[in-house]
Amino acid sequence: MDFLSIKPTLWTKNFTFIISGTIVSAIGGVGLNLALSVTVYNNTQSTWLMGLYSAITIIPGMILPVLMSPFIDRYPRKKIIVRQDLFMGIVFIFFAWWTHIRAFDFYFYLLMGLVISINGVIYGLAYDSLFPNLIPEGMFQKGYAIGNLIFPLTNVVVLPVATLVFKHFGVPSLFLVEGFLLLIAVLFEMQIEITETTKKVDGNPVKNHFTDIKQGFDYIRQEKCIGYVYVFFVVMMFAHGVNVLIYPFFVQSSSLQVMNYAFLLSFESAGYMLGGLMHYFIKIPTHLRYGISVIVYGTFAVFGGTFFFMPFILMLITKFVLGFIGMNSANIRVTSINHYIDDGMRGRLNAIFQTLVSMATLLGKLIAGYLGEKLSYEMIGLIYGSLIGIGILLFIIGKKSVVMPLYNQEL
């Protein structure tokens, strides 16, 4: 036996640098989404305007992914990531200065949200397409377990601190921190060494662009397993829009405060973190991946539908459980789909998926925000939870013959 043989490792130079850069940028950004939505609600006292803000900032995620995805598949994705982080680092520092010297303006916050959203779309498409190529062969589940662990971990560790910073120093301080941390993240990302195979095309660039987009939709129509999963997650993310009501629910409660809301998010992230750790150390048996996913989706339907009926302690437990099982189902779905599709199609399919779920989330938040001023939060939760249950029956259990082989792949 050769004791000097080197075992394959996940932690190659490239994987270490991409994870390091992601951690640094995540630390600064973890409190921003909370701070922006809370600031909008605190200054408007309207669930409708809060829902409108959340919905409008999702619009770039509806329009841009499909339009941008051919460019992502044609150009080096490492360069896109580096340039976007550099640009946003400078932009966040400007936002910090502007929000420090100016009073609250709903339309400027809306503009900031749109800028952040547009960058997130472009960066996310490039990152999601590059990341699988930085994972060593045979390490897909472990690689995604670590990647999916970053944001839950930073939420657990950083979110309570970020909430205190926001409470005492305001949103400009969070913008400033994120700006400088993104500039540091660029230094890590620049160290990645990878030769990317990009798609070169001749002829009319506009015609080629839309031909590439059409190829993505054609692929989904041919691969029905991908299509059914995508449609189910349209339903799932529409129902997820009910979460826009959680903060107003806490504010209107006589016994709950902003710190309770922050703890709720931290418990959910702790569940995600534990779920990610489990995937790193334990490989789910291939033949159980589909069955586990069905159970997870059903749990989301039941717990999500009854959430607003729960006392705070049970809310914490529920969010922790949903975070834990949600991370497991997300890992199963993402690894299954990314392992199944070709690298040359990854950008376009990720874009189509992002567009569909963004549209669903926008509608879900808009309708939830509107219903929040008409119905009780408890009733809205029941309606949205029921939608998830219907989606499971139609697209996951009802299409088991094609979805199960996708989920139960040997990775």
**2, part of any domain:** no
Q: How far apart are CA 150 and CA 146, in angstroms?
A: 7
From first CA to last CA, the distance across the chain in angstroms is 27
Q: What is the DSSP letter of 57?
A: T
**3, part of any domain:** no
Q: What is the DSSP letter of 191?
A: T
Q: How far apart are CA 376 and CA 181, in angstroms?
A: 41
Give the CA-trace dihedral at 261, 263, 268, 272, to 10 degrees: 140
92, 168 Cβ separation under 8 angstroms:
no
**123, part of any domain:** yes
Q: The whole model's pTM is what?
A: 0.69
- Residue 91 neighbours by CB under 8 Å, 6+ apart: 115, 119, 179
Q: How far apart are CA 55 and CA 40, in angstroms?
A: 13
**387, part of any domain:** yes
- Strand, coil or helix: what is 134? helix
Q: How far apart are CA 140 and CA 153, in angstroms?
A: 20
Residue-range definition of the domain harbouring residue 282? 13-197+208-407
**5, part of any domain:** no
Tally of domains within the chain: 1
**60, part of any domain:** yes
220, 337 Cβ separation under 8 angstroms:
no
**4, part of any domain:** no
CATH number at residue 269: 1.20.1250.20
**1, part of any domain:** no
Give pLDDT tens digits along the chain (411 positions).
444 445 567 888 998 999 998 888 888 776 676 678 778 878 887 777 877 887 788 788 777 877 777 777 778 889 999 999 999 999 989 988 998 898 888 888 888 888 888 888 888 888 888 888 888 877 877 887 788 778 777 776 777 777 778 878 888 888 888 889 899 999 999 999 888 766 665 555 556 656 767 777 888 888 888 889 999 999 999 999 898 888 888 888 877 777 788 788 878 878 887 887 787 777 788 888 899 999 999 999 999 999 999 999 999 999 999 988 888 788 788 888 877 887 667 777 877 887 888 788 888 988 998 898 889 999 999 999 999 999 999 999 999 999 999 999 876
